[in-house]
Amino acid sequence: MAVIFVFLDGIGLGPSGPQNPLDAPWPALQRLADGQRWTDALQPRFDDRMTVTAVDATLGVPGLPQSGTGQAALFSGTNGPKLAGRHYGPYPHSQTRDALRQHNLFARIQRLDVPFAEPAAFANGYPDRFFSYAARRNRWTVTTRCCLDADVRIRTAADVRTGQALTADLTGHAWREDLGLDVPLRTPTAAGEQLAAIASDHACTVFEYFLTDKAGHARDAERAQRVLCEVDQFVGALLEALDPTNDLLALCSDHGNLEDLSIKTHTRHPVPLLAWGAGATSFAEAAAITDVTPALVAAVTAQAG
């Protein structure tokens, strides 16, 4: 039994066309969406093993959604932009800190009565310099802040080397080329298999991927294709490794961006929410990104029960 939540930063459902790199045949992404491309033409689908829907990321607040408040909403189920009075990011807004501390996904999972020594896990590994920088400036990302608040271990470069963590770029390429760190190169497929293996030791495992948002800001079509190709292979490996009668894979985003390469900013488009496998029905009523954390907790509770 494994529940995996893959958070893809900056993926919205926008109009078809050459500006939208998601409007292309991505086999694994389409498999998650019952054969459909991830565009604004996506039709909701619900059955025992699948939820395919679009959810709101603007949360009643004007302006363009940002990662700090959007991720607070996604990972705590509280309205981050309303608490902050505006969309804010990329780091957590001070007015969302209490909500993150009390209601974050990891904390909620840790409190459940489930047969795991470490119920919640965050599968991303971070290089040493991230820890020194974040500690010195007290500037943690939303997910690492949630880990600190919930006593969930933040994985390290050593975990990446032993296969107990994934690099944020899936392959390790950026760690080797940009950071000069000695980590193994892995294919996106191997990274997917690795995430499935890590998830088997926990009730709920999260992986965060932000190169989708980076490619959107860069307005770089070639980079967007490369990033989506790797994400598609990664998701394909997860679908192969997981058993839909026992396991659950859920994916969502914090705001749109990549789906419109004609602009370099985030968008107000709805974002895809896809759940595949056991407990997918927990996501059927979701209407906004604030509904994702409660649905994940419900899915884990249902599996444990």
Contacts with Zn ion, residue ranges (CB under 5 A)? 213
From the CB of 269, what's the least distance to Zn ion, in Å? 14
DSSP state letters, 14-67: ---STT-TTSS--HHHHHHTTT--SSTTPPPEEETTEEEEEEBSSTT--S---H
From the CB of 210, what's the least distance to Zn ion, in Å? 8
The closest residue (CB) to Zn ion is 213
Q: Which one, of 33, 28, 6, 50, lies nearest residue 204 by Cα?
A: 6
From the CB of 257, what's the least distance to Zn ion, in Å? 6
φ, ψ of residue 170 to 5 degrees: the values are: 75, -45
Taking the least distance from each CB to Zn ion, the nearer of 120 and 168 is: 168
From the CB of 9, what's the least distance to Zn ion, in Å? 7
Taking the least distance from each CB to Zn ion, the nearer of 56 and 213 is: 213
Six-digit token string for 144: 């690492």
Q: Are 118 and 202 in contact (CB under 8 A)?
A: yes
Q: Which residues lie below 8 Å from residue 111, measured CB to CB, with a gap of 6+?
A: none
Taking the least distance from each CB to Zn ion, the nearer of 64 and 304 is: 64
From the CB of 90, what's the least distance to Zn ion, in Å? 7
Q: Are 108 and 100 in contact (CB under 8 A)?
A: no
Taking the least distance from each CB to Zn ion, the nearer of 110 and 144 is: 144
Taking the least distance from each CB to Zn ion, the nearer of 64 and 112 is: 64
Would you call 243 helix, strand, or coil by DSSP? coil
